[in-house]
Every structure is written in structure tokens, then in C-alpha cells.
Amino acid sequence: MDPRPDHGEESYKGSGRLNGRKALITGGDSGIGAAVAIAFAREGADVAINYLPAEEEDARSVIELIEKAGKKAVAIPGDIRDEAFCQQLVSQAADALGGLDILVNNAGRQQFCESIETLTTEAFDATFKTNVYAMFWITKAAVPHLQQGSVIINTTSVQAYEPSEILLDYAQTKASIVAFTKSLAKQLGSKGIRVNAVAPGPYWTALQCCGGQTQEKLEQFGASAPLGRPGQPVEIAPLYVTLAAEENSYTSGQVWCSDGGTGTL
């Protein structure tokens, strides 16, 4: 990507807000997932990241940064569109970390399509499997490992509220994540497990330039935000840290937006 996104490789400074925590992050090889993984490690958490096997090189860079922060790093490649792998992912992460108390469902698929007439069932299914089914499968497998004080954080999008005409399938999945978050927060409240979501606006990540937007939209990406630019992944990572931190123990069922001043939520 040109310019390269800032995941906080040099800029994020931790302050021990997640000391002793154990986190699993999907889509942790790049973009928002990578920024969250780096931030969590620098805040004191051990971190397992999941990613597609094709992204091994990017994932290795994140693993090295987690280890450089002095924390345990676990790399678990695999395709979360497969239910059996999702179950294996959670089990492997919990075993390697010695437990699990933070789950970040962040991995996503976004491919633009300009007409419902050309949106194939195969593409529609792949988006829902990645963004919705995997979240369900992974969370279901993770809940037995979570204790009181544990946290689930899902990545939704401003697309859930203001969908683009070229992201018909993606926007639907992000609206589903909002409902999933609010419903699950009510279900798990009695167990002392908090469930929240973050809704990014125009953030400069690989998701956008790898088929997520048209070239025309990429050239103006983020320009319509009041701040006049797209956000960098490191700029949203602190929201995930805050939602994961123990001092935020009364916040659940919420969707926090970061969109450069548009005020979507």
C-alpha cells in the first residue's frame, strides 16, 4: 500500500492497561487487527492472532512486534469460513495462552459490486461466512473459556448505518454484527462478560485497496470526512484497548464509532 498504513509500529505507547490478559484477535495480520494486536501487547496482554495462510509474511511482522513488547505471541493461520477450524482456533489459542479473556472478532471480507444483478451467490456466501458465521462460531466456542470480567469486541462498520450502494452484502453483515453484539451483551451480562463493538469509518487498510472500493473511490477515500482524510489503524486501536480494559467494567452492548467527525452514530 502507498502510503503504508500506520499500525502503531513506532507510535503506540502502552501503559499497562491490559497486564496479564490473554487475547485472541482474528484478522490480526494487517489493518485494524494488526494495530489492535500491537496495542494489546504493549498494554501488557499475551496475544494470539488468526489470519489466512497467504498472509503469513504480514503476520510474522505482527508476531515479532508482540514478542518485542515482551509478551507471548501465538500465530494461528487458517480459514474462518470453516466451522471446524473456528473451534480448533479457539481451543488452540486458549491452550497456547493458558486461558482466554479477550476475544476480538475483527476479520472481515469486503468486495465491491456495483449491481445486485452481478453479485453472485458465491460472493454473497463468502462475505457472510467470513463476517457473520465465523463470528458466531468463534464466539460460541470461546464462551466456555471466558470468566467473569472477560470481554468480547466485534468490528462492525459505519456501513451498518449508512450503507454504500456498492457494498450491498458487506453492509448487511455489518448490520448483523450490531444486532449480534447488543443481543449477546444481554445474554452474557449475568455471567459478567461484556460484549461491545467498534464501528470504523474510512480507515486506510488493505481491506479497501484489495477490492473493497473502486479506484475512483480510493482516490478520494476519506476526503468527505470533516477531518479531511482517512484514519490510520493506530488511531482506532485505543478504542479496543478502552473497551477491553477492566476499568471500563460497566460498558456493554455498545457500538463505538470512529469516522473522522461525520457523526454517524
User: Which residues does the annotation mark as catalytic?
Assistant: 170
Q: Using alpha carbons, list the distances in angstroms from residue 229 to 34, 201, 202, 261.
A: 21, 11, 8, 10
Q: What would the grid cell of residue 97 be? A: 495462552
Closest CA to 31 of 162, 204, 246: 204
Q: What would the grid cell of residue 235 be? A: 488511531
CB atoms within 10 A of CB 231: 22
Distance CA 231, CA 204 (A): 6
Distance CA 50, CA 123 (A): 22
